[in-house]
Each structure stands twice: as C-alpha cells, then as structure tokens.
C-alpha cells in the first residue's frame, strides 16, 4: 500500500512540484501539503461509507443524562467521523454530550448499545488503493494554486478527482451488499448540507 509520502508525491507529480521525503521536512511543497493533509483525509473518509474504514463497537452509557426527553446518553468514540448505524434503538439523536464534552447518542435504549461507524484511519497501509488515488487527487486539487501559483490546472484536476471518486466508490460498492441509505449528493459540486431530519438507523453526521 502507499505511504503518506507516496500519496503526497503523487499529488506533487501532477502539479509539477518537487518530490518530498517527509511530510514534516522544511520545504515549500511539504509545508503546503502538510497544511491540508489531515483535513483532506478526514473529509474524504467522512464523505463515503468506505468498507476499509467501517468498524463496530458496543457503547456503555454515560453517567450524565440528558436534562429532558431521552433518559440515557452514549459517548461517540473520538475516532468516529461518521455514524452509520445504531442497533437496538428505534429513536435517538446525535448531540453534544450532557457531560459537557464531545458528542453522544441520546436515547432511551438500555446499555450497552451497538453502533457501526466510519473510523478515522491514520495508517495509510489500511487505505484501499483506490482511496489512496482519490486522496492524492484531492491533495493536488487543494494545493494546486499554492504550489503552482496558477489555477490553470484546476479543470484537469477536478476531472481527475471526479474520476478517482467514481472508481473508488464503484469498487467499494461491489464488495458491499446494498443498504437503504440516504443519497450523499455530489461533494465535488457543493458542501454537505447541515443536519436535517435523522433517519431511524442511518444518517450522516452534520
């Protein structure tokens, strides 16, 4: 699998930039890539239910409880980028934890509850190869003007990113049985809208 440096260098190669040997090195290219690296990675992970990033856990209830309405709160794991499924809970909301920090699922369901979510993956060895290609495309798109001093390549980079996204999602879907989930929309055209009405079991985190 690709390393973080190899992903960065693939983006730099598309931009005609100098290759780097470390994301932390003191070079213009490394500084510009490093500035957006984590943000772009986490954004891409959140925007799709990537099979390689989905995990399941059981959650204990918090000691603190909601001040009204639901009777229990369950802390969301700190590495959760997108909640996919809550089992055993016909009615719940994702809110700020009543204990005052982080996020929690508030519900009346008895502990423990089981959830499925997209996990923050930081080890590039765990990335699907098509996700790594998409990551490089988005890094190039995000840093193009800073590195090249021009937006002349923006159309070509956008086409590359769209094709990389389409192929990564197509192959990812082949390995996943169909589920009744909300439409994600075109993330290259616009930002995700804020949280609306929650589906009973599946919903994007706003």
| Residue 41, pLDDT score | 98
Within this chain, do residues 43 and 139 fall inside the same structural domain, yes or no?
yes
Q: Is the pLDDT of residue 191 over 60?
A: no
Per-residue pLDDT of 54-71, as tens digits, reads 999 999 999 999 999 999
Average pLDDT of the chain, as a whole number: 86
Within this chain, do residues 33 and 58 fall inside the same structural domain, yes or no?
no
| Residue 151, pLDDT score | 84
Q: How confident is the model at residue 154 (pLDDT cuts 50, 70, 90)?
A: confident
Q: Is the pLDDT of residue 80 over 80?
A: yes
Q: In which domain, by residue range, is 153 found?
A: 4-50+128-174
| Residue 101, pLDDT score | 82
Q: Is the pLDDT of residue 193 over 80?
A: no
| Residue 204, pLDDT score | 34
What are the C-alpha distances in Å from 140 to residues 1, 7, 33, 160? 19, 10, 9, 10
Residue 78 tokens read as 């700190």
Within this chain, do residues 78 and 95 fall inside the same structural domain, yes or no?
yes
Would residue 33 count as lying in a domain? Answer: yes
The Cα–Cα gap between 61 and 109 comes to 10
Q: Is the dihedral of CA 168, 170, 176, 181 positive or negative?
A: positive
Among 100, 119, 138, identify where a domain stops: 119
Mean pLDDT of 93-99: 93
Residue 168 tokens read as 């990564």
Q: How confident is the model at residue 100 (pLDDT cuts 50, 70, 90)?
A: confident
Within this chain, do residues 45 and 63 fall inside the same structural domain, yes or no?
no
Would residue 104 count as lying in a domain? Answer: yes
Would residue 179 count as lying in a domain? Answer: no
- SS3 letters for the chain? CCCHHHHHHHHHHHHCCCCCCCCCCCCHHHHHHHHHHHHHHHHHHHCCCCHHHEEEEEECCCCCCCCCCCCEEEECCCCEEEEEEEECCCCEEEEECCCCCCEEEEECCCCCEEEEEEECCCCHHHCCHHHHHHHHHHHHHHHHHHHHCCCCCHHHHHHHHHHHHHHHHHHHHHCCCCCCCCCCCCCCCCCCCCCCCCCCCCCCCC
Would residue 191 count as lying in a domain? Answer: no
User: What is the reported pTM?
Assistant: 0.82
Asked if 131 contacts 44 with a C-beta cutoff of 8 angstroms, the reply is: yes
Q: Is the pLDDT of residue 198 over 60?
A: no
Q: How confident is the model at residue 91 (pLDDT cuts 50, 70, 90)?
A: confident
Within this chain, do residues 62 and 95 fall inside the same structural domain, yes or no?
yes
Provide the 10 A C-beta neighbour count for residue 149.
8
Would residue 80 count as lying in a domain? Answer: yes
The Cα–Cα gap between 28 and 17 comes to 10
Mean pLDDT of 31-53: 97
Would residue 188 count as lying in a domain? Answer: no
Within this chain, do residues 73 and 104 fall inside the same structural domain, yes or no?
yes
Within this chain, do residues 137 and 45 fall inside the same structural domain, yes or no?
yes
Q: How confident is the model at residue 153 (pLDDT cuts 50, 70, 90)?
A: confident
The total number of structural domains in the chain stands at 2
Per-residue pLDDT of 5-38, as tens digits, reads 999 999 999 999 999 999 999 999 999 999 999 9
Within this chain, do residues 115 and 57 fall inside the same structural domain, yes or no?
yes
Mean pLDDT of 194-199: 36
Within this chain, do residues 70 and 163 fall inside the same structural domain, yes or no?
no
Would residue 38 count as lying in a domain? Answer: yes
The Cα–Cα gap between 100 and 103 comes to 9
Mean pLDDT of 81-99: 88
Looking only at the bridges linking them, the beta strands covering 113-119 and 103-107 are unpaired
């Amino acid at each position: 699998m690709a390393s973080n440096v190899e992903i960065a260098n693939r983006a730099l190669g598309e931009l005609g930039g100098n290759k780097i040997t470390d994301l932390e090195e003191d070079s213009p290219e490394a500084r510009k890539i490093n500035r957006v690296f984590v943000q772009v990675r986490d954004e891409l992970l959140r925007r799709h239910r990537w099979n390689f990033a989905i995990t399941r856990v059981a959650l204990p209830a918090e000691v603190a409880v909601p001040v009204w309405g639901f009777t229990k709160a369950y802390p969301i794991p700190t590495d959760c980028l997108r909640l996919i499924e809550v089992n055993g809970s016909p009615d719940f909301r994702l809110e700020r934890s009543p204990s005052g920090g982080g996020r929690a699922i508030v519900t009346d369901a008895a502990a423990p509850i089981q959830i499925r979510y997209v996990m923050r993956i930081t080890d590039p060895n765990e990335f699907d190869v098509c996700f790594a290609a998409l990551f490089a495309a988005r890094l190039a798109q995000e840093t193009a003007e800073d590195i090249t001093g021009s937006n002349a390549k923006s159309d070509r980079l956008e086409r590359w990113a769209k094709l990389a996204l389409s192929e990564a999602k197509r192959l990812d879907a082949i390995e996943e049985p169909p589920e009744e989930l909300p439409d994600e929309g075109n993330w290259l055209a616009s930002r995700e809208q804020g949280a609306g009405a929650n589906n009973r079991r599946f919903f994007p985190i706003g």
